[in-house]
Homo-oligomer: A and B are copies of this chain.
Protein backbone atom coordinates (compact mmCIF):
# COMPACT_ATOMS: atom_id res chain seq x y z
CA UNK A 1 0.00 0.00 0.00
CA UNK A 2 1.20 3.47 -0.83
CA UNK A 3 -0.45 5.97 1.49
CA UNK A 4 -1.31 9.47 0.42
CA UNK A 5 -0.18 12.37 2.53
CA UNK A 6 -3.80 12.91 3.48
CA UNK A 7 -3.98 9.39 4.91
CA UNK A 8 -0.74 9.97 6.78
CA UNK A 9 -2.10 13.18 8.30
CA UNK A 10 -5.45 11.68 9.16
CA UNK A 11 -3.86 8.95 11.26
CA UNK A 12 -1.41 11.42 12.77
CA UNK A 13 -3.95 13.96 13.87
CA UNK A 14 -5.97 11.29 15.63
CA UNK A 15 -3.13 10.39 17.97
CA UNK A 16 -3.25 10.99 21.70
CA UNK A 17 -1.59 14.31 22.62
CA UNK A 18 1.65 13.16 24.24
CA UNK A 19 3.72 15.93 22.68
CA UNK A 20 4.82 18.92 24.76
CA UNK A 21 5.82 22.13 22.97
CA UNK A 22 6.74 25.27 24.83
CA UNK A 23 5.35 24.07 28.12
CA UNK A 24 2.02 22.74 26.89
CA UNK A 25 0.80 19.36 25.67
CA UNK A 26 -0.37 19.79 22.08
CA UNK A 27 -2.09 17.83 19.35
CA UNK A 28 -0.11 16.90 16.28
CA UNK A 29 -1.86 19.49 14.17
CA UNK A 30 -0.19 22.23 16.18
CA UNK A 31 0.96 24.87 13.66
CA UNK A 32 4.50 24.62 14.94
CA UNK A 33 4.66 20.96 13.95
CA UNK A 34 3.16 21.44 10.48
CA UNK A 35 6.41 22.56 8.76
CA UNK A 36 7.97 19.22 9.67
CA UNK A 37 4.86 17.32 8.59
CA UNK A 38 5.05 19.17 5.27
CA UNK A 39 8.42 17.52 4.74
CA UNK A 40 7.01 14.07 5.34
CA UNK A 41 4.28 14.85 2.81
CA UNK A 42 6.93 14.96 0.13
CA UNK A 43 7.89 11.37 0.86
CA UNK A 44 4.33 10.24 0.26
CA UNK A 45 3.84 12.44 -2.81
CA UNK A 46 6.93 11.15 -4.56
CA UNK A 47 5.81 7.56 -4.14
CA UNK A 48 2.48 8.43 -5.74
CA UNK A 49 4.14 10.14 -8.66
CA UNK A 50 4.39 7.90 -11.76
CA UNK A 51 7.52 9.76 -12.77
CA UNK A 52 9.40 8.38 -9.79
CA UNK A 53 8.19 4.77 -9.72
CA UNK A 54 11.12 2.50 -9.00
CA UNK A 55 12.98 5.31 -7.31
CA UNK A 56 10.52 6.41 -4.65
CA UNK A 57 9.04 2.94 -4.60
CA UNK A 58 10.51 -0.57 -4.54
CA UNK A 59 9.36 -4.14 -4.72
CA UNK A 60 9.08 -5.61 -1.26
CA UNK A 61 11.37 -8.54 -0.55
CA UNK A 62 8.70 -9.80 1.82
CA UNK A 63 5.59 -9.90 -0.28
CA UNK A 64 6.59 -8.76 -3.76
CA UNK A 65 4.29 -5.74 -3.60
CA UNK A 66 5.20 -2.23 -4.66
CA UNK A 67 6.00 -0.34 -1.48
CA UNK A 68 7.42 2.98 -0.49
CA UNK A 69 11.19 2.68 -0.74
CA UNK A 70 11.55 4.01 2.80
CA UNK A 71 9.99 0.80 4.09
CA UNK A 72 12.08 -1.43 1.85
CA UNK A 73 15.02 -3.61 2.89
CA UNK A 74 17.74 -3.09 0.25
CA UNK A 75 18.62 -6.33 -1.51
CA UNK A 76 21.22 -5.12 -4.03
CA UNK A 77 23.79 -2.39 -4.64
CA UNK A 78 21.25 -0.84 -6.96
CA UNK A 79 18.80 -0.57 -4.10
CA UNK A 80 21.36 1.33 -2.08
CA UNK A 81 22.11 3.63 -4.98
CA UNK A 82 18.41 4.26 -5.50
CA UNK A 83 17.95 5.11 -1.84
CA UNK A 84 20.80 7.59 -2.07
CA UNK A 85 19.35 9.16 -5.18
CA UNK A 86 15.86 9.35 -3.69
CA UNK A 87 17.19 11.20 -0.67
CA UNK A 88 18.99 13.73 -2.83
CA UNK A 89 15.91 14.24 -4.96
CA UNK A 90 13.62 14.72 -1.98
CA UNK A 91 16.09 16.95 -0.13
CA UNK A 92 16.05 19.37 -3.03
CA UNK A 93 12.27 19.61 -2.73
CA UNK A 94 12.25 20.02 1.03
CA UNK A 95 15.09 22.49 1.16
CA UNK A 96 17.14 19.96 3.11
CA UNK A 97 16.62 17.13 5.59
CA UNK A 98 13.97 14.71 4.43
CA UNK A 99 13.71 13.13 7.90
CA UNK A 100 12.28 9.83 6.79
CA UNK A 101 15.58 8.04 6.09
CA UNK A 102 16.14 7.40 9.78
CA UNK A 103 13.30 4.88 9.95
CA UNK A 104 14.67 3.18 6.88
CA UNK A 105 18.10 2.91 8.47
CA UNK A 106 16.56 1.56 11.66
CA UNK A 107 14.66 -1.26 9.93
CA UNK A 108 17.87 -2.25 8.13
CA UNK A 109 19.74 -2.41 11.41
CA UNK A 110 16.98 -4.40 13.09
CA UNK A 111 16.54 -6.83 10.21
CA UNK A 112 20.27 -7.58 10.12
CA UNK A 113 20.96 -7.65 13.82
CA UNK A 114 17.97 -9.75 14.84
CA UNK A 115 19.18 -12.38 12.37
CA UNK A 116 22.68 -12.31 13.81
CA UNK A 117 21.47 -12.49 17.40
CA UNK A 118 19.29 -15.46 16.52
CA UNK A 119 22.21 -17.24 14.86
CA UNK A 120 24.34 -16.69 17.92
CA UNK A 121 21.80 -17.15 20.67
CA UNK A 122 19.09 -19.34 19.17
CA UNK A 123 16.48 -16.65 19.77
CA UNK A 124 13.67 -15.83 17.36
CA UNK A 125 13.86 -12.08 17.12
CA UNK A 126 14.25 -12.05 13.36
CA UNK A 127 10.92 -13.65 12.54
CA UNK A 128 9.28 -11.46 15.12
CA UNK A 129 10.76 -8.37 13.51
CA UNK A 130 9.88 -9.50 10.00
CA UNK A 131 6.28 -9.94 11.08
CA UNK A 132 6.34 -6.43 12.40
CA UNK A 133 7.96 -5.15 9.23
CA UNK A 134 5.34 -6.83 7.06
CA UNK A 135 2.67 -4.83 8.84
CA UNK A 136 4.89 -1.73 8.58
CA UNK A 137 5.28 -2.10 4.81
CA UNK A 138 1.65 -2.92 4.23
CA UNK A 139 0.57 0.22 6.02
CA UNK A 140 3.30 2.42 4.53
CA UNK A 141 4.27 3.59 8.00
CA UNK A 142 6.76 6.28 8.84
CA UNK A 143 9.21 5.18 11.52
CA UNK A 144 11.43 7.37 13.58
CA UNK A 145 14.63 5.98 15.06
CA UNK A 146 15.20 6.81 18.71
CA UNK A 147 18.83 5.98 19.18
CA UNK A 148 20.67 8.75 21.04
CA UNK A 149 20.27 8.48 24.80
CA UNK A 150 20.70 11.54 26.97
CA UNK A 151 23.91 9.80 28.17
CA UNK A 152 24.71 11.77 31.32
CA UNK A 153 28.41 11.53 32.12
CA UNK A 154 30.09 10.84 28.80
CA UNK A 155 33.06 9.12 30.38
CA UNK A 156 30.89 6.41 32.00
CA UNK A 157 28.97 3.48 30.60
CA UNK A 158 25.19 3.18 31.08
CA UNK A 159 25.32 1.02 34.17
CA UNK A 160 27.79 3.40 35.80
CA UNK A 161 25.57 6.48 35.60
CA UNK A 162 24.27 7.99 38.79
CA UNK A 163 20.91 8.51 37.11
CA UNK A 164 19.84 5.21 35.50
CA UNK A 165 17.48 7.08 33.17
CA UNK A 166 20.42 8.58 31.35
CA UNK A 167 19.99 5.58 29.03
CA UNK A 168 16.78 3.76 28.16
CA UNK A 169 16.75 0.42 29.93
CA UNK A 170 14.66 -2.53 31.00
CA UNK A 171 13.19 -2.08 34.46
CA UNK A 172 11.13 -5.23 34.45
CA UNK A 173 10.82 -8.39 32.39
CA UNK A 174 7.45 -10.03 32.23
CA UNK A 175 6.14 -13.04 30.37
CA UNK A 176 4.22 -10.93 27.91
CA UNK A 177 6.76 -8.21 27.48
CA UNK A 178 9.07 -5.74 29.16
CA UNK A 179 8.87 -2.45 31.01
CA UNK A 180 11.35 0.29 30.06
CA UNK A 181 12.38 3.71 31.36
CA UNK A 182 14.87 6.41 30.42
CA UNK A 183 15.54 9.42 28.19
CA UNK A 184 16.27 9.60 24.50
CA UNK A 185 17.23 12.96 23.03
CA UNK A 186 17.69 14.82 19.73
CA UNK A 187 15.14 12.52 18.11
CA UNK A 188 14.19 14.12 14.82
CA UNK A 189 10.58 13.82 13.55
CA UNK A 190 9.47 11.80 16.60
CA UNK A 191 6.47 14.07 17.10
CA UNK A 192 4.96 13.20 13.74
CA UNK A 193 6.08 9.63 13.13
CA UNK A 194 3.74 6.65 13.14
CA UNK A 195 6.22 4.44 14.90
CA UNK A 196 9.15 4.93 17.25
CA UNK A 197 11.93 2.41 16.70
CA UNK A 198 14.21 2.25 19.74
CA UNK A 199 17.77 0.90 19.50
CA UNK A 200 20.88 1.16 21.71
CA UNK A 201 23.39 3.91 21.04
CA UNK A 202 26.72 2.37 22.02
CA UNK A 203 28.87 -0.64 22.83
CA UNK A 204 27.87 -2.35 26.05
CA UNK A 205 29.48 -4.58 28.65
CA UNK A 206 27.99 -7.45 30.63
CA UNK A 207 26.80 -5.21 33.44
CA UNK A 208 25.04 -3.00 30.94
CA UNK A 209 22.76 -5.91 30.08
CA UNK A 210 19.57 -4.03 30.92
CA UNK A 211 20.52 -1.35 28.42
CA UNK A 212 20.62 -3.83 25.53
CA UNK A 213 17.09 -3.29 24.38
CA UNK A 214 15.38 -2.64 21.07
CA UNK A 215 11.68 -2.30 20.40
CA UNK A 216 8.98 -0.43 18.49
CA UNK A 217 6.03 1.65 19.73
CA UNK A 218 3.24 3.69 18.22
CA UNK A 219 3.99 7.39 18.41
CA UNK A 220 1.41 8.00 21.13
CA UNK A 221 2.17 4.92 23.24
CA UNK A 222 1.16 5.16 26.83
CA UNK A 223 3.89 6.34 29.19
CA UNK A 224 5.96 7.94 26.46
CA UNK A 225 6.15 11.76 26.47
CA UNK A 226 7.87 13.80 23.80
CA UNK A 227 9.20 17.23 24.69
CA UNK A 228 9.53 18.70 21.27
CA UNK A 229 11.44 21.64 19.84
CA UNK A 230 10.22 22.71 16.42
CA UNK A 231 12.46 24.77 14.17
CA UNK A 232 10.86 26.77 11.41
CA UNK A 233 10.72 30.14 9.69
CA UNK A 234 8.59 33.08 10.65
CA UNK A 235 6.82 33.23 7.33
CA UNK A 236 5.53 29.69 7.56
CA UNK A 237 1.87 30.55 7.85
CA UNK A 238 1.79 32.86 4.92
CA UNK A 239 -0.01 31.13 2.04
CA UNK A 240 2.18 33.16 -0.29
CA UNK A 241 5.32 31.95 1.40
CA UNK A 242 7.82 30.42 -0.97
CA UNK A 243 8.43 26.65 -0.72
CA UNK A 244 11.53 26.97 1.45
CA UNK A 245 9.46 28.63 4.16
CA UNK A 246 6.88 25.85 4.24
CA UNK A 247 9.31 23.35 5.66
CA UNK A 248 10.79 22.82 9.09
CA UNK A 249 11.77 20.13 11.52
CA UNK A 250 11.23 19.06 15.10
CA UNK A 251 13.44 17.23 17.55
CA UNK A 252 12.30 15.63 20.76
CA UNK A 253 13.49 14.53 24.10
CA UNK A 254 11.52 11.32 24.63
CA UNK A 255 10.78 10.42 28.22
CA UNK A 256 10.01 6.73 28.79
CA UNK A 257 8.40 6.35 32.17
CA UNK A 258 7.82 2.66 32.97
CA UNK A 259 6.52 1.93 29.50
CA UNK A 260 5.21 -1.56 28.85
CA UNK A 261 6.31 -3.11 25.52
CA UNK A 262 4.52 -6.30 24.46
CA UNK A 263 6.71 -9.20 23.46
CA UNK A 264 5.94 -9.06 19.74
CA UNK A 265 7.42 -5.58 19.62
CA UNK A 266 10.64 -6.43 21.47
CA UNK A 267 13.61 -7.11 19.16
CA UNK A 268 16.51 -7.24 21.57
CA UNK A 269 16.42 -7.88 25.25
CA UNK A 270 19.65 -8.19 27.17
CA UNK A 271 22.02 -9.30 24.39
CA UNK A 272 24.66 -6.76 25.39
CA UNK A 273 27.29 -8.33 23.12
CA UNK A 274 25.32 -6.93 20.19
CA UNK A 275 25.16 -3.39 21.54
CA UNK A 276 27.98 -2.08 19.42
CA UNK A 277 26.84 -4.08 16.41
CA UNK A 278 23.31 -2.73 16.26
CA UNK A 279 24.48 0.79 17.08
CA UNK A 280 26.96 0.68 14.20
CA UNK A 281 24.47 -0.95 11.82
CA UNK A 282 22.14 1.98 12.28
CA UNK A 283 24.99 4.50 12.23
CA UNK A 284 26.65 3.16 9.10
CA UNK A 285 23.37 2.84 7.25
CA UNK A 286 22.55 6.39 8.27
CA UNK A 287 25.98 7.60 7.21
CA UNK A 288 25.30 6.09 3.83
CA UNK A 289 22.01 7.98 3.75
CA UNK A 290 23.95 11.16 4.45
CA UNK A 291 25.92 10.48 1.29
CA UNK A 292 22.65 11.22 -0.47
CA UNK A 293 21.15 13.94 1.68
CA UNK A 294 24.19 16.14 2.17
CA UNK A 295 24.81 16.39 -1.57
CA UNK A 296 21.20 17.55 -1.73
CA UNK A 297 21.94 20.22 0.85
CA UNK A 298 25.04 21.20 -1.10
CA UNK A 299 22.95 21.43 -4.25
CA UNK A 300 20.72 23.92 -2.50
CA UNK A 301 23.60 25.93 -1.06
CA UNK A 302 25.32 25.86 -4.44
CA UNK A 303 22.17 27.04 -6.18
CA UNK A 304 21.52 29.78 -3.64
CA UNK A 305 25.11 30.96 -3.84
CA UNK A 306 25.07 30.96 -7.63
CA UNK A 307 21.81 32.88 -7.57
CA UNK A 308 23.21 35.40 -5.08
CA UNK A 309 26.27 35.84 -7.28
CA UNK A 310 24.01 36.57 -10.22
CA UNK A 311 21.87 38.96 -8.22
CA UNK A 312 25.08 40.70 -7.17
CA UNK A 313 26.30 40.76 -10.75
CA UNK A 314 29.55 39.07 -9.77
CA UNK A 315 28.95 35.64 -11.25
CA UNK A 316 31.96 36.00 -13.55
CA UNK A 317 34.48 37.11 -10.92
CA UNK A 318 37.31 34.58 -10.75
CA UNK A 319 37.15 34.01 -7.01
CA UNK A 320 33.37 33.50 -7.20
CA UNK A 321 33.70 30.91 -9.93
CA UNK A 322 36.34 29.09 -7.93
CA UNK A 323 34.24 29.09 -4.80
CA UNK A 324 31.24 27.69 -6.64
CA UNK A 325 33.23 24.65 -7.72
CA UNK A 326 33.88 23.81 -4.08
CA UNK A 327 30.24 22.81 -3.75
CA UNK A 328 30.82 20.31 -6.54
CA UNK A 329 33.77 18.89 -4.60
CA UNK A 330 31.79 18.54 -1.41
CA UNK A 331 28.61 17.17 -2.93
CA UNK A 332 30.02 14.82 -5.49
CA UNK A 333 32.80 13.31 -3.41
CA UNK A 334 30.27 12.42 -0.75
CA UNK A 335 27.84 11.13 -3.34
CA UNK A 336 30.62 9.10 -4.93
CA UNK A 337 31.46 7.64 -1.53
CA UNK A 338 27.85 6.50 -1.29
CA UNK A 339 28.10 4.85 -4.69
CA UNK A 340 31.35 3.12 -3.76
CA UNK A 341 29.76 1.99 -0.50
CA UNK A 342 27.01 0.38 -2.56
CA UNK A 343 29.38 -1.15 -5.10
CA UNK A 344 31.56 -2.58 -2.34
CA UNK A 345 28.70 -3.37 0.05
CA UNK A 346 27.80 -6.84 1.08
CA UNK A 347 24.93 -9.22 1.58
CA UNK A 348 24.25 -9.89 5.24
CA UNK A 349 22.84 -13.13 6.61
CA UNK A 350 19.45 -11.48 6.77
CA UNK A 351 19.51 -10.95 3.03
CA UNK A 352 19.76 -7.20 3.49
CA UNK A 353 22.46 -5.64 1.32
CA UNK A 354 24.61 -3.37 3.47
CA UNK A 355 26.89 -0.53 2.41
CA UNK A 356 30.64 -0.72 2.88
CA UNK A 357 31.41 1.05 6.12
CA UNK A 358 34.73 2.63 5.10
CA UNK A 359 33.12 4.46 2.22
CA UNK A 360 30.04 5.39 4.24
CA UNK A 361 32.32 6.88 6.90
CA UNK A 362 34.68 8.83 4.65
CA UNK A 363 31.69 10.18 2.76
CA UNK A 364 29.76 11.29 5.84
CA UNK A 365 32.86 12.79 7.45
CA UNK A 366 33.72 14.79 4.36
CA UNK A 367 30.38 16.59 4.49
CA UNK A 368 30.51 17.05 8.25
CA UNK A 369 33.89 18.72 8.04
CA UNK A 370 32.74 21.12 5.36
CA UNK A 371 29.22 22.18 6.32
CA UNK A 372 30.26 25.39 8.08
CA UNK A 373 32.61 26.12 5.24
CA UNK A 374 29.73 25.84 2.78
CA UNK A 375 27.73 28.42 4.70
CA UNK A 376 30.84 30.56 4.85
CA UNK A 377 31.04 30.42 1.07
CA UNK A 378 27.44 31.47 0.69
CA UNK A 379 28.15 34.38 3.02
CA UNK A 380 31.29 35.39 1.17
CA UNK A 381 29.45 35.56 -2.12
CA UNK A 382 26.15 36.99 -0.89
CA UNK A 383 27.59 39.72 1.33
CA UNK A 384 26.18 41.01 4.58
CA UNK A 385 22.68 41.74 3.31
CA UNK A 386 21.15 38.56 4.75
CA UNK A 387 21.48 39.89 8.30
CA UNK A 388 20.96 43.58 7.62
CA UNK A 389 18.15 43.72 5.06
CA UNK A 390 14.86 45.20 6.21
CA UNK A 391 12.09 42.90 7.36
CA UNK A 392 9.46 41.78 4.85
CA UNK A 393 6.95 44.19 6.40
CA UNK A 394 9.19 47.15 5.65
CA UNK A 395 8.98 46.40 1.96
CA UNK A 396 5.23 46.74 2.24
CA UNK A 397 5.02 49.98 4.15
CA UNK A 398 4.78 53.54 2.97
CA UNK A 399 6.79 55.68 2.69
CA UNK A 400 9.72 53.21 2.54
CA UNK A 401 8.43 50.85 -0.11
CA UNK A 402 9.39 52.83 -3.19
CA UNK A 403 12.93 53.42 -2.00
CA UNK A 404 13.41 49.87 -0.75
CA UNK A 405 12.22 48.32 -3.99
CA UNK A 406 14.87 50.36 -5.76
CA UNK A 407 17.39 49.57 -3.05
CA UNK A 408 16.94 45.81 -3.47
CA UNK A 409 17.89 45.71 -7.15
CA UNK A 410 21.57 45.07 -7.85
CA UNK A 411 21.30 43.43 -11.23
CA UNK A 412 19.09 45.28 -13.65
CA UNK A 413 18.20 42.03 -15.44
CA UNK A 414 16.20 41.04 -12.39
CA UNK A 415 12.92 42.58 -11.35
CA UNK A 416 12.60 44.14 -7.92
CA UNK A 417 10.16 41.37 -6.97
CA UNK A 418 12.53 38.58 -7.97
CA UNK A 419 15.47 40.39 -6.37
CA UNK A 420 13.55 40.56 -3.13
CA UNK A 421 12.66 36.86 -3.35
CA UNK A 422 16.27 35.96 -3.94
CA UNK A 423 17.59 37.98 -1.03
CA UNK A 424 14.85 36.67 1.25
CA UNK A 425 15.88 33.15 0.23
CA UNK A 426 19.49 33.99 1.00
CA UNK A 427 18.38 35.23 4.41
CA UNK A 428 16.19 32.19 5.04
CA UNK A 429 18.87 29.74 3.97
CA UNK A 430 21.89 31.52 5.40
CA UNK A 431 20.72 33.50 8.42
CA UNK A 432 17.61 31.98 9.93
CA UNK A 433 16.86 29.50 12.71
CA UNK A 434 17.07 26.83 10.00
CA UNK A 435 20.67 27.86 9.34
CA UNK A 436 21.92 26.96 12.79
CA UNK A 437 19.91 23.76 12.67
CA UNK A 438 21.50 22.74 9.37
CA UNK A 439 24.97 23.77 10.45
CA UNK A 440 24.75 21.79 13.65
CA UNK A 441 22.89 18.82 12.19
CA UNK A 442 25.44 18.92 9.40
CA UNK A 443 28.16 18.33 11.96
CA UNK A 444 26.42 15.93 14.31
CA UNK A 445 23.52 14.26 12.54
CA UNK A 446 24.29 10.62 11.89
CA UNK A 447 27.53 10.88 13.78
CA UNK A 448 29.98 13.75 13.97
CA UNK A 449 33.29 13.78 12.09
CA UNK A 450 35.02 12.70 15.28
CA UNK A 451 32.77 9.62 15.38
CA UNK A 452 33.68 8.75 11.82
CA UNK A 453 37.31 9.36 12.65
CA UNK A 454 37.03 6.92 15.52
CA UNK A 455 35.24 4.39 13.31
CA UNK A 456 37.92 4.71 10.63
CA UNK A 457 40.65 4.39 13.25
CA UNK A 458 39.16 1.02 14.15
CA UNK A 459 37.99 -0.27 10.78
CA UNK A 460 40.51 0.97 8.23
CA UNK A 461 43.07 -1.71 7.46
CA UNK A 462 46.31 -0.14 8.63
CA UNK A 463 48.07 -3.48 8.85
CA UNK A 464 47.72 -3.95 5.14
CA UNK A 465 49.17 -0.49 4.53
CA UNK A 466 52.03 -1.18 6.92
CA UNK A 467 52.75 -4.39 5.02
CA UNK A 468 53.17 -2.33 1.86
CA UNK A 469 55.55 0.00 3.69
CA UNK A 470 57.53 -2.89 5.13
CA UNK A 471 57.81 -4.48 1.72
CA UNK A 472 59.14 -1.22 0.29
CA UNK A 473 61.55 -0.89 3.22
CA UNK A 474 62.95 -4.36 2.59
CA UNK A 475 61.55 -5.77 5.80
CA UNK A 476 60.11 -9.22 5.55
CA UNK A 477 56.40 -8.63 5.12
CA UNK A 478 53.40 -10.54 3.96
CA UNK A 479 52.48 -8.40 0.96
CA UNK A 480 49.05 -9.86 0.74
CA UNK A 481 47.63 -7.37 -1.66
CA UNK A 482 44.99 -9.83 -2.51
CA UNK A 483 43.07 -9.32 0.69
CA UNK A 484 41.82 -5.94 -0.30
CA UNK A 485 42.50 -5.49 -3.97
CA UNK A 486 41.10 -8.84 -4.94
CA UNK A 487 37.76 -7.93 -3.56
CA UNK A 488 35.32 -7.75 -6.44
CA UNK A 489 32.54 -5.20 -6.69
CA UNK A 490 29.29 -6.58 -5.36
CA UNK A 491 28.02 -7.40 -8.83
CA UNK A 492 31.05 -9.34 -9.95
CA UNK A 493 31.64 -9.13 -13.65
CA UNK A 494 28.01 -8.71 -14.45
CA UNK A 495 28.71 -5.36 -15.94
CA UNK A 496 30.83 -6.60 -18.79
Contact = CB atoms under 8 A, between A and B. Distances in A.
Given A185-B407, A380-B448, A436-B436, A251 B387 contact: yes
A128 interface: no
B494 A495 contact: yes
Contacts of A489: 78, 81, 339
A7 interface: no
Nearest to A444: B384
Contacts of A336: 333, 336-337, 339-341, 359, 362-363
Contacts of A93: 481
Interface in A461-479: 462, 465-475
Interface residues of A, number: 162
Main secondary structure of the interface of A (DSSP, over half): helix
Contacts of A332: 337, 340, 358-359, 362
Contact of A23 (B240, B319, B391, B471): B391
Interface in A216-273: 225, 227-229, 231, 240-244, 251-253, 255, 257
Interface stretch (A135-143, A170-178, A304-312): A304-312
A495 B400 contact: no
Nearest to A399: B225
Interface stretch (A101-109, A200-208, A279-287, A295-303): A295-303
Interface string A427-442: 0011111011101110
A453 interface: yes
A425 B474 CA distance: 9
A275 interface: no
B255 A324 contact: no
Nearest to A481: B89
Interface in A377-419: 379-380, 383-391, 393-394, 396-397, 399-400, 403-404, 406-407, 409-412, 418
Q: Considering the complex of A and B, which 6 residue pairs feature the smallest CB-CB distances, nearest first?
A: A242-B474, A303-B469, A23-B393, A318-B318, A303-B465, A336-B340
Given A151-B410, A255-B407, 12 more contacts: A75-B496, A77-B495, A154-B410, A185-B407, A252-B388, A306-B466, A325-B456, A380-B449, A386-B436, A425-B472, A435-B435, A435-B436
8 contacts: A55-B485, A75-B496, A154-B410, A243-B473, A319-B322, A332-B340, A384-B444, A422-B475
